[in-house]
Structures are given as C-alpha cells and as structure tokens.
Structure 1
Amino acid sequence: MELRHRALQVLCLAHPDEKATAALALYAVADQCSIATTAPVPPSNPEALPGRPERPVLLHHTAVKRRSPATPEGRAILLHAIAHIEFNAINLALDAIWRFDGMPAAFYQDWLRVAAEEAKHFQLLRDLLRTLGHDYGDFPAHQGLWTMCEKTQHDIVARMALVPRTLEARGLDATPLIQQKLRQAGTTDALQAVAVLDIILREEVGHVAIGNHWYRWLCVRDGLNPETHYTTLVQHYQAPRPKPPFNETARRQAGFTDTELAWLLYTD
C-alpha cells in the first residue's frame, strides 16, 4: 500500500464514520506502507475533494448561530461546531499528505498521525453529541478551515504557515475559555466535554508544533526568514489575525517564539 495514494482515497470518503475509521486504520499500518512511487492523481471532479456528507448544511461563518452552553441545546450546538472542526482537520491532514511532493518521509508520517488523532477527536465528540440526543449533521456549520486549504493548495509554505499554525492554533486559545463555560454549566455531560477537550488540547499542541516545525524547515530550505515571511503570507492570503486572549503557555509548547507572540499581541 502506498501511503499518499491511500490518504487521497480516504480524503474522498464522504461518510464521517468511514473516514474517521479509515484514517485510524491507515495510521495503524503506516509502517507497512511505502510513501509513494508516483504522485497521486486527484479525481477529475473537484467537488470530490474533500469527500463530505450531505449534512451538515454549510453556511458562511457569520450565519452560523451560537448558543450558550448553559442549556442542553447550546452544549449540543457547541459540541457540533467543534466536531465539525475536527472532521475538517482530518481532511486537512490527509490533503497535506497526498498533495505535496518531495518532502521527507517524516512529513507524511507526521501528518498521518495528525489525521488519526483528529479522527479520534471527532469520534469522541460525536459520542458526546449523541448522549445529548443529537448527531453530527444536525446543525449548520461553516467551511473556514477548508477555504484556506484551497487557497494554499499550490504553496506548501503557505499551507504550513496559515492552516496549522494560524487557524488551528486558534483552538489552543479558545479551548480553555470553552472549558470554563462548560464547568460553569456543571452538568455531567458538560464535565464530560471538559475532559474530552483536555485530550484534544493536549494533542492539538502537538499538531500545531508539527506545523511550526515543517514551516520553519521549509523556510530554511527556501532561504526565507520565517518571521518576516509569515507576515507576507498573512497579507497575501488574507488570513485572519487571531485576537486575544492567547494561550501563551500552549503556544510556547507548540513552538511559537517570543517574537511571534509579540506580533500577535501587537495592535496598530
């Protein structure tokens, strides 16, 4: 089995359970796979990338309603939103594996690990959602993460800069705030969600660290200054600038430098 070819096949799967299970299964046999002898050929229909279910309905991010986690429905909507992010994160990791040629084997192995852990996160959140009488697809969602994935499909440096270490890193900041609100709710399901988010936060630090590592590796390869080039990429691709408060501890653990943290905190 060739890892990059199989990653593309899994990316094209539409059923959420099938995709999550297949990502975990591929990770389990990764040591038996070659990376690839030829570049994978994407499907002729661009709509097949990524494979996605008919539900949830996808809206612009400003049209997706938010609810207080103080109510059962509000917690369900919150868990659904996070589950959707994790489902998209499976796709993002798989896309990096099949799309970009010529990287060291460790690059593909790192992103396969990310895909598998995101699949686990999705399954944990979906199980919680079902305890509240709902399922993935019951509420609208948005595609902000995948939009940036499409923008950076021809630029691996931009992909590493703007997806894991920009958009996904926002989860490091948001998760403790979400956990605080869930603790205030105090219900059994809310506290179960806090515990699941502990797992997700810990592993997401590692995912952002992988993005930081490969972004800097690529900058060294291409003779770029990682800090100044990052600001260029943010402007060119119109990436959102994260807003405080920032989880500085988690960001440092993920490899952000003092200069990068100072840039985040700086306002015009």
Structure 2
Amino acid sequence: MASRELPPTIVECALAVLHEADPDAKVRLTNAVAEAWRAGGISCEPPERPTTVPDRPARPDDRVRLVPAWELPQRGKGGSLASRLALLHSLAHIESWAIDLSWDIIARFGRDSSYALPRAFFDDFVAVAEDEARHYALLCARLREEGSHYGALPAHDGLWESATATRESLPARLAVEHCAHEARGLDVLPQTIARFRRAGDERSAALMSDVIYPEEVTHCAAG
C-alpha cells in the first residue's frame, strides 16, 4: 500500500488499523503505515476533523473463539506437540492484541493536545506496533509449519480488559500495559524458551530468543 493511500496523520492511520478486522490485513496495514511514517509521509499533528476511538478494535467473529481465561485448558509445559502448539497459539494471540494496543495508545492519546506528545512518542509506538506485527506473523508461520493455525484453539482477551480500564489515562496505560504486562511477559519468556529447547523444538526457541525476546525488551523501554 503506497503512502498516498494512507490517511494524512498518524492518529488517523492508527484508527485505520484498529478498524481492520482481519489480523493478517492488520499486519500488512501496520507495515505500510510504519514504512510511510519513517519516510516522512505521515504527520504527527492532530487530525483536522474529530475522531472517535473504538471501545474495542475490530476482530473477525469467526477467527478465534474467545472464552473466559478460567475456561481455557492448561497449555502444559511444552513436552508434547499439542502443548507446544498451545504455547505458540497463546503467544500469537498475545501479539495480535499487542498490535492493537500499540495503535490504540497512538489513536487514543495522540489526539489529546493536553499531553503535548513529542514526535519521539509516536516513533516509539509505531516501531513497537511494527515489531508486534512481525512477531505475530512469525508465530503464525511457525504454527502453520507444525500443521496448525491461529484460531485453532480458544483464547481470552484479558489484555484488552486492561486497556479498557486505562483508557482515560496515558500514565496508567503506560504503567499497566507497556510496563507491567510487558515486564511480566519478559519474566516468563525464558522459561518458555527453555521448554521448547527441552522438547527439541529449536526453531521455536530460536524465534523467541533471537527475535521476540530482544525486541520485547525495547518495548518496556518505550513504556
């Protein structure tokens, strides 16, 4: 998608991603926006016309069956293929929400002149969104390599519940979503990597240790 086809401001671009229901199309749009942003083709000025941020990002009704967290089966410790697929699916689902969370913070708070956010803020979260999109795509590819796919298992949307609780405050959003949740994920990821290595799944382990983990560290710094 060329930059001329994108909205003129980063807030409007963020809204376009949030309104895109298909997660694969969401990845493509994220990549297009990030490329245009780095090239200087998108403004960080507030939109000229009023904007409304959706209470919840668009999601396909038939892609992933959402259930309460307590109804999810135990994922196990990665010793079996089924357990490893459950772990990969859970990580892909987290990354799919992380894409939306990155754009929501731009769309929701970037239009608020009271925060007077510098361009560096948008630089950080556009980069985070692009990373999360890449992580999601790589995890989905890994699922396909193992004969599965994103949506093969149920999932929960606890991450978005936290976003809803912090939608009125940028400091609260940064503290809860982009510091606490990101840090918690970093704490447990080495254990997940070790489980895949013990099971002989070096491809999944390398994806997490060489790509996802080091990039997630920078996301905590952005928060």
Residue pair 1:97, 1:108 contacting (<8 A) in 2 also: yes
2:15 maps to a residue whose letter is: L
Matched, 1:2 2:2: no
Distance 2:50 2:197 in 1: 46
Aligned-partner Cα distance in 1 for 2:205–2:32: 27
Q: Is residue 153 of structure 2 the alignment partner of residue 146 of structure 1?
A: no
> What is residue 171 of structure 2 aligned with on the other side?
157
Give the 3 Å change call, closer, same or farther, for CA 132–183 of structure 1 in structure 2: same
Match of 1:201 among 202, 206, 213: 213
Question: Is 1:57 aligned with 2:71?
Answer: no
Conservation of the 8 A alpha-carbon contact between 2:102 and 2:128: yes
Q: TM-score, normalised by structure 1?
A: 0.74
User: 1:154 & 1:108 partners in 2: Cα distance?
Assistant: 19
Larger radius of gyration: 1
* CA distance, structure 1, for counterparts of residue 151 and residue 165 of structure 2: 25
Native 8 Å contact 1:79 1:129 kept in 2: yes
Where in structure 2 are the equivalents of 1:1-268 lying within 5 Å? 1-30=8-37, 31-38=40-47, 41-42=51-52, 46=55, 49-54=56-61, 55-68=63-76, 69-100=78-109, 101=112, 102-186=116-200, 190-198=201-209, 199-211=211-223
SS at match of 1:32: coil
Q: TM-score, normalised by structure 2?
A: 0.88
Contact 1:5 1:36 in 2 (8 A): no
Asked if structure 1 preserves the Cα contact closer than 8 Å seen for 2:11 and 2:46, the reply is no
CA RMSD of aligned residues (A): 1.4
Contact 1:66/1:78 (CA < 8 Å) preserved in 2?
no
Segments of structure 1 that go 5 or more residues without pairing to the other structure are 212-268
Percent of paired sites with the same residue: 38
When residues 155 and 200 of structure 1 are mapped into structure 2, their CA distance, relative to the original with a 3 A threshold, is same
Moved over 6 A (4+): none
- 2-structure distance, mates of 1:194, 1:23: 26
- The total of aligned residue pairs comes to 205
| Per-residue deviation, residues 150-209 of structure 1 (Å, max 9, x unmatched) | 1100111100111110112111101100011111101xxx21111110111100000011
